[in-house]
Amino acid sequence: MDMVVSAYARHVLLPLADLVVLMSGATTREKAAQRTAAAAAKHERITGLFQEQAADATRMNLAYVAQQTWELIQDYDWRLVDRDLRGNWAHRLWDFTKTTQYTGTTKAGIGGGLGRAISAALANKGTGRLNVHFQPDGDLLFTPSALWTLANQELPVLIITNNNRSYANDERHQEEVAVTRERPVENKGVGIRIEGPEVDFAALARSYGIHGEGPITDPADLRPALERALAVVLSGTPALVDAVVLAGR
């Protein structure tokens, strides 16, 4: 039987699920319990793998950056103001308990990251919330003047670059296209890799009047840099930590 229910899904779905279980026969309930247990076991196994990667302090991987940031901010009233790292590492490792803790997007034109962080930080201004923002390097190079706006408006945002020194998403596309069109794959980085010279994002931040840390290439240097930047942000102004990460997820 189909039944139309007009309601807010978030208010109705959980009680509805309970009701369905109550109305189900013993076999259905048993099957549901088995599925729940299997999903819980899978969740635990996958979380374990994520945490293993996050604990790997031998290289600047995205899981490590997310974890180091989390350990520092978890006791504050934090907000991830657009966007998560590639691979959604904050969502994999952080404990999100409120919908308001994330104002990010999954898909968007590049150059929009800091603009969206600015609007969230404006909304959070004066509330004591801690704005945290992961910033891909290519995205930042499209709209660096957003750094000036942050400084000008005294918006306390902790910016951590996801600096893989590449427009990496396009590098993957270039590779696929090269294979399909039988062109040399080694050319995939032409116009895409942000190297020779590398951009000094900490210096870029400083040039706009923002506290800059980095470039951080040694995992051991990340936490102290994050701590210094956090102190600046807690004093009410923005700070940027340039984390040079490995490409990929």
Ligand X SMILES: Cc1ncc(C[n+]2csc(CCOP(=O)(O)OP(=O)(O)O)c2C)c(N)n1
Interacting residue ranges for ligand X, rule: CB under 6 A: 86, 109-111, 136-139, 162, 164, 166-170
- Number of residues that make up the chain: 249
Q: Is 193 exposed, middle or buried (0-12, 13-18, 19+ CB in 10 A)?
A: middle
Min separation Cβ 72 and ligand X, Å = 22
Q: Which residue has the tokens 């997820």?
A: 249
Min separation Cβ 25 and ligand X, Å = 49
Sorted by sequence, the CB contacts under 8 Å of residue 6 that are 6+ apart come out as: none
Nearest to 148 by CA among 225, 81, 204, 201: 204
Q: Which is nearer to ligand X, 110 or 178 (CB)?
A: 110
| Side chain identity at residue 137, one-letter code | D
* Closest residue by beta carbon to ligand X: 138
β-pair type (239-243, 130-136): unpaired
Q: What is the spatial distance between Cα 140 and Cα 144, in angstroms, rounded to a whole number?
A: 5
Q: Which is nearer to ligand X, 78 or 167 (CB)?
A: 167
Min separation Cβ 207 and ligand X, Å = 20
Q: Which is nearer to ligand X, 129 or 133 (CB)?
A: 133
Q: Which is nearer to ligand X, 103 or 163 (CB)?
A: 163
Min separation Cβ 150 and ligand X, Å = 18
Q: Which is nearer to ligand X, 124 or 162 (CB)?
A: 162
Min separation Cβ 43 and ligand X, Å = 26
